[in-house]
Structure 1
Amino acid sequence: MTRGTVIMGVLALLSFVGAMSMRPVEVAPPTFQDTGEALFPEFVDPNAATFLEVKDYDEESAQLTSFSVKLEDGKWVIPSHNNYPADGTEQMGKAAASFISVTKDVVRSDDPKEHAEFGVVDPEDEAAAKDSRGRRVTIKDASGTNLVDVIIGKDVPERQGFKFVRYPGENRVYAVELDPQVSTGFTDWIEDDLLKMESDDIVAVLSNSYSVVEGTDPVTGEKTTKLENDNPMYFELSDSGAFGADGQPSAEWATAAPPVFGPDGARIDPATWEGEEPLPQPATAPEGKELNPTKVKQIVGASDRMKIVGVRPRAARLDPFEMKSKGFFLVGEPPRLSLLGNEGEVHLISNDGVIYTLFFGEVTYATGEALSAGGEEDAVEEGEDASRANRYMFVNVSYDARRDQSAGAPAIDGEPRGEARAQMLAERFERWYYVIQDSSFVQVHKVPDDFWRDLKE
């Protein structure tokens, strides 16, 4: 074999190798070995869930939001809202059940560069592009073990009821049939009956729409607090002289004198009173006017239906500066301090001696988590959208045995009455004050002129 023949052979071999290296190669498709498997194989009992956390990114406010609820000492609480009590059994059951038996339907990608397209970028990723973040849902059991930990992305096109999902820390994206029943709405998780009262049990109402005005004593230089338009209006249910459809005597609201009780606990009759100090008198109608009892009914009905949209922790020792910023004032000297609201107060007296006192404070235009949980709240500015207005409110509960018509009567449907109910309610309200819808405030807050109507001819 000549030298030229050897060289030609080597060149031919190299050409063949080169041609083989340039030949199109089939790319192995993504593995589908886990298709059809359970997304959360260890999660089979919804009652095992004792903790839920949802993290989301609000594109409008450019803020990460977080909501959580957990079972603590046998009671559901909302950690993201200062452990406010949650009515969590039903909501948690729905949330947990929506993740059980969910299967991995189709593997869509193993490429992390496509996470933004599917909307499964971690919501805490600060470098994420707009509209690329998903919602991260974590559910744990009592031992702290993750039962669910997933980032839920966009809807799958042309596949109704399917969503893109991925496990945090992993690249693979699945399309799964999933309807996550996970509410992050604070009001969806709480007891919606705020006052725990029945409107039919309210037998007296005191409304006082005063305003608090701060000033300075010109002599001493000390700060003063006085009330403007301090004009309490007191009403009681009384026999109307008519009978209802059931044949029973019907009652109607009427103005009355605020009650004064003697040392024996009996109510003093102003008609027979012979003391030196005059007794309070009922409000009298302006000329040409009469009481409009519908306005009193509005106060009672709106109070019974009142819903909260936010909560704030109530310290054992109230901070005057914090309270003032919310429209509440502490007057008097410790330990005898009294609370005032800059938009007045309403007292609702039940037939079992339980007395609710509602104090109304400043308006807030906060939204989102700042509204429901507090924190960096929006400042009150001129021109704020009135539709965003909500109102701070304090609730105090007391008991007056002299007004208790249920003394000695058995509990109704197992619910406590009288002093026991007052104690239960006092414990409920002693840790919190609230934000209510301004529409509720408008129905409960009345000025004296609101109670009168033109005389019927």
Structure 2
Amino acid sequence: MNEGQKTGLFCVIGAVMLAVGLFVSWPASEREEVSVRAGKELFENFKDPLTAASLKIVSFDEEQGQVDTFEVRRDRETGMWTIPSRKGYPADAVEQMKDAANALVGLQILDVQTRNAEDHEALGVVEPKLEVLEVGDVGVGRLVTFRDESQKDLASLVIGNPVKDEEGRFYVRKPGQDPVYVVELDEPALSTKFQDWIEDDLLQLSSIDIEAMRIEDYAASMSSRGFSVDRNYTAVVTADGTDWRLEKLLEYPSDSPLADPVEVDVDPTQIVNKEKLNDIKNALDDLKIVDVVRKPEGMSANLRADKDLVSDNEAVQSLVDRGFLPVQARPDAPVEVLSANGELDVTLNDGVEYVLRFGNVSGLSEEDESEDSDEEDGTSTGVNRYLLVTARVDEDQFPAPELKPVPQTIEELAAMLGVEAEKTTEPAEEPAAEEAATEAEMKDGDAEPAEESEAAEESSEESESDKAEMKEESASEETEAVEETTDEPSSETAEEGSTEEPTAEENSSETAESSENAEPESGDAADSSVSEVEVEGSGEATGAGQGDEDDADSEEDSDEIAFADLSDEEKQERLEAEQEKILKENTRMLDARKDRLNAAKRRVSDLNARFADWYYVIPETTYRELRIDRDELLTAAEGDDSGSGAGASLPGGGSPMQIPGLNSPQ
């Protein structure tokens, strides 16, 4: 083979190798694009939105020349959604992620707009790559990428301009490919707004649960000489439905803001501004955040700063820049964090207390940057403000229950039951013995005891006349019951030789006498008749206004008689039963308090776990809704008539005064 043949062979081999190299190095997406036509799905392998474990959206800021990245990701171990682009802030992303993934699942090509790369800028589908972009570059789209648990791409798309006059349609292309397609896309589901991906109801409270608020109006600032505090006032108000009651109003000496405050005597012609306080309550219910920033390491959940934090200049500067000042009032006092614009403490009816501290302005929010300025005060409506939030338990909501004393001796039990000491020791056998002897003599046929009984009854009529008259004035049912119960003794007396039938008045006297002298356990007929009278006459024979008192008296008498008749052994059993009953009741009250307190502590712990690591950012408009100036707190009472109207006790050490319209009378 001569030199010319060799040269030709090498050229052929080189051409073949070049063709193979070009084929191998040609992007796979370019080779695949030939098969993509109108009516086809852009991502045929992306069928299940639940397989998406992360979403990353990259966009380009033309004015700043910067690439912004928003990412949401599910943790493989915990299953929790977080936002890595916001330092791992928890995301409420289950439904939002599903909707976002569904925007690309089954996405169909409606038309192929162009296959020419030169058209990308005009259609807004330039890929946002920072290394090839500069300030002022235009036509850059948003790159949306979904990945699964193993971080394998499920779908990736550059979203460009909307199609003119065709709502819901956009120009899109796959990264690395030239063709630009027209698709119908649910673009709002692919939002990069932070608040669209979180639980934006920060406090998660209901306005109807707010029981009290403590307003601390002060301003703290840092200077070269240290920090300064300008205190205005402190007020404590409690809610009563839609009304409010002023519990305390304190003001501070203007020349010494760190001095003890002085309680203010409020003019009786003024009432608390319930409209403004209700606005604050509603704003708390609807408190939204627009952004978060992670707090310095070492700052605890209760907003106290430890020594390590104070010695960390970077952490202290982070706090000061946002309007929160770690200060120490006294050498032996703990280091606390004051806020630049005061604070608001909110107590709920379950004993949970929120502490909101307002810092410096943080800048404009994304959604409000384009809004016009407020013409009245010259401030931008898009300004935001830093906020620190913590929770604590209001111990005043859980007072110790008033426990019932447990009797330790029979005498203590008797005193608790209201039983006189002599009744607990008086023997009860003699009346029973006398009655037994009388019955025995009557059974032997001797009529003399019966005659003596009648004489005794006649002699006692005058002494018991008042009681008999009272019983005759009662309802007819009681009189009939008394007469029926005395028929049998009258018959026995007639058989014994008596020819005179007892009158109703005599029966009443007999009943009254036997009810006083006989013991409950004797079982005689007089006791039985009294019981029948009490049962049959209750509710009907009781005089107007005396029914409840008679019942109460009879219960007390019954307790005294019953306890007095008990033997020593039975009294001891009664003591032990009462001790067990009282101990159970006391335990129930203690357990109820403990359960409520533990529930509040668990709630506080959960809240602080969520609040602990973050500065929150709220709109300036929300901040204004949560603040109330001193001259707004009280307003003139409408139709005030000095000295009249319901009110609340005013703060101060003097006698209570009434503020018209402030309180409902107790």
**TM-score greater than 0.5 by the shorter chain:** yes
Distance (whole Å) between structure 1 residues aligned to residue 135 and residue 184 of structure 2: 26
Aligned CA distance change for structure 1 residues 137 and 193 (closer, same or farther; 3 Å): same
Q: Deviations over 1:59-113 (max 9, x none)?
A: 3544322211111221111111111111101111111011111123333333222
Question: Is 1:254 matched with 2:245?
Answer: yes
The structural deviation recorded for 1:295 is 2.4
Matches within 5 A, 1:98-177: 98-124=103-129, 125-126=132-133, 130-157=137-164, 160-177=167-184
Does structure 1 conserve the Cα–Cα contact (< 8 Å) formed by 2:146 and 2:155?
yes
The structural deviation recorded for 1:349 is 1.0
Distance (whole Å) between structure 1 residues aligned to residue 101 and residue 336 of structure 2: 46
The structural deviation recorded for 1:449 is 1.8
Give 4+ residue runs of structure 1 displaced > 6 Å after superposition: 279-282, 409-412
Aligned CA distance change for structure 1 residues 149 and 282 (closer, same or farther; 3 Å): same
Matches within 5 A, 1:13-412: 33-35=35-37, 36-72=39-75, 73-124=78-129, 125-126=132-133, 130-157=137-164, 160-180=167-187, 181-214=189-222, 223-238=225-240, 252-257=243-248, 283-286=264-267, 288-318=269-299, 319-332=315-328, 336-368=334-366, 385-404=379-398, 408=592
Distance (whole Å) between structure 2 residues aligned to residue 202 and residue 107 of structure 1: 59
- Counterpart of 2:326, as a letter, is L
Aligned CA distance change for structure 1 residues 106 and 419 (closer, same or farther; 3 Å): same
Distance (whole Å) between structure 2 residues aligned to residue 454 and residue 158 of structure 1: 58
Distance (whole Å) between structure 1 residues aligned to residue 95 and residue 33 of structure 2: 39
Aligned CA distance change for structure 1 residues 159 and 370 (closer, same or farther; 3 Å): closer
- Counterpart of 1:209, as a letter, is D
The structural deviation recorded for 1:252 is 2.9
Distance (whole Å) between structure 1 residues aligned to residue 203 and residue 264 of structure 2: 28
What corresponds to 1:13 in structure 2?
Answer: none
Question: Is 1:422 matched with 2:578?
Answer: no
Q: Secondary structure at the match of 1:300?
A: helix
User: Does 1 or 2 have the higher relative contact order (CA < 8 Å, sep 6+)?
Assistant: 2
The structural deviation recorded for 1:312 is 0.8
Does structure 2 conserve the Cα–Cα contact (< 8 Å) formed by 1:255 and 1:282?
no
Does structure 1 conserve the Cα–Cα contact (< 8 Å) formed by 2:242 and 2:278?
no
Q: Deviations over 1:28-82 (max 9, x none)?
A: xx98632133211111001111101111123354432221111122111111111
Does structure 2 conserve the Cα–Cα contact (< 8 Å) formed by 1:289 and 1:454?
yes
Does structure 2 conserve the Cα–Cα contact (< 8 Å) formed by 1:343 and 1:362?
yes
Q: Secondary structure at the match of 2:395?
A: strand
Distance (whole Å) between structure 2 residues aligned to residue 137 and residue 213 of structure 1: 44
Distance (whole Å) between structure 1 residues aligned to residue 288 and residue 165 of structure 2: 40
Distance (whole Å) between structure 2 residues aligned to residue 452 and residue 425 of structure 1: 33
Distance (whole Å) between structure 2 residues aligned to residue 335 and residue 49 of structure 1: 52
Q: Secondary structure at the match of 1:95?
A: helix
Distance (whole Å) between structure 2 residues aligned to residue 113 and residue 129 of structure 1: 18
- Counterpart of 2:295, as a letter, is R
The structural deviation recorded for 1:325 is 1.2
The structural deviation recorded for 1:230 is 4.3
Distance (whole Å) between structure 2 residues aligned to residue 431 and residue 75 of structure 1: 17
TM-score when normalising by structure 2: 0.52
Does structure 1 conserve the Cα–Cα contact (< 8 Å) formed by 2:63 and 2:135?
no
- Counterpart of 2:234, as a letter, is P
Aligned CA distance change for structure 1 residues 184 and 234 (closer, same or farther; 3 Å): same
The structural deviation recorded for 1:171 is 1.9
Does structure 1 conserve the Cα–Cα contact (< 8 Å) formed by 2:326 and 2:338?
yes
The structural deviation recorded for 1:447 is 2.2
Q: Secondary structure at the match of 1:365?
A: strand
The structural deviation recorded for 1:336 is 2.1
Distance (whole Å) between structure 1 residues aligned to residue 333 and residue 230 of structure 2: 25
TM-score when normalising by structure 1: 0.75
- Counterpart of 1:408, as a letter, is A
The structure carrying a bigger helix percent of its residues is 2
The structural deviation recorded for 1:359 is 0.5
The structural deviation recorded for 1:288 is 4.2
Distance (whole Å) between structure 1 residues aligned to residue 136 and residue 625 of structure 2: 45
The structural deviation recorded for 1:352 is 1.6
Distance (whole Å) between structure 1 residues aligned to residue 118 and residue 136 of structure 2: 12
Does structure 1 conserve the Cα–Cα contact (< 8 Å) formed by 2:201 and 2:289?
no
- Which stretch shows the higher mean deviation, 288-297 or 342-351? 288-297
Does structure 1 conserve the Cα–Cα contact (< 8 Å) formed by 2:381 and 2:621?
no
Structure 2: give runs of 5+ residues left out of the alignment.
Answer: 1-31, 250-259, 300-314, 370-376, 400-588, 640-666
| Larger Rg computed on CA atoms | 2
- Which stretch shows the higher mean deviation, 321-330 or 51-60? 51-60
The structural deviation recorded for 1:117 is 2.4
Distance (whole Å) between structure 2 residues aligned to residue 121 and residue 128 of structure 1: 14
Aligned CA distance change for structure 1 residues 225 and 129 (closer, same or farther; 3 Å): closer
Distance (whole Å) between structure 1 residues aligned to residue 355 and residue 163 of structure 2: 52
Does structure 2 conserve the Cα–Cα contact (< 8 Å) formed by 1:210 and 1:230?
yes
- Which stretch shows the higher mean deviation, 351-360 or 168-177? 168-177
The alignment-based identity, stated in percent, is 30
- Counterpart of 1:317, as a letter, is G
Equivalent residue pairs, number? 377
Q: Secondary structure at the match of 1:423?
A: helix
The structure carrying a bigger strand percent of its residues is 1
Structure 1: give runs of 5+ residues left out of the alignment.
Answer: 1-29, 217-222, 239-249, 259-278, 372-382
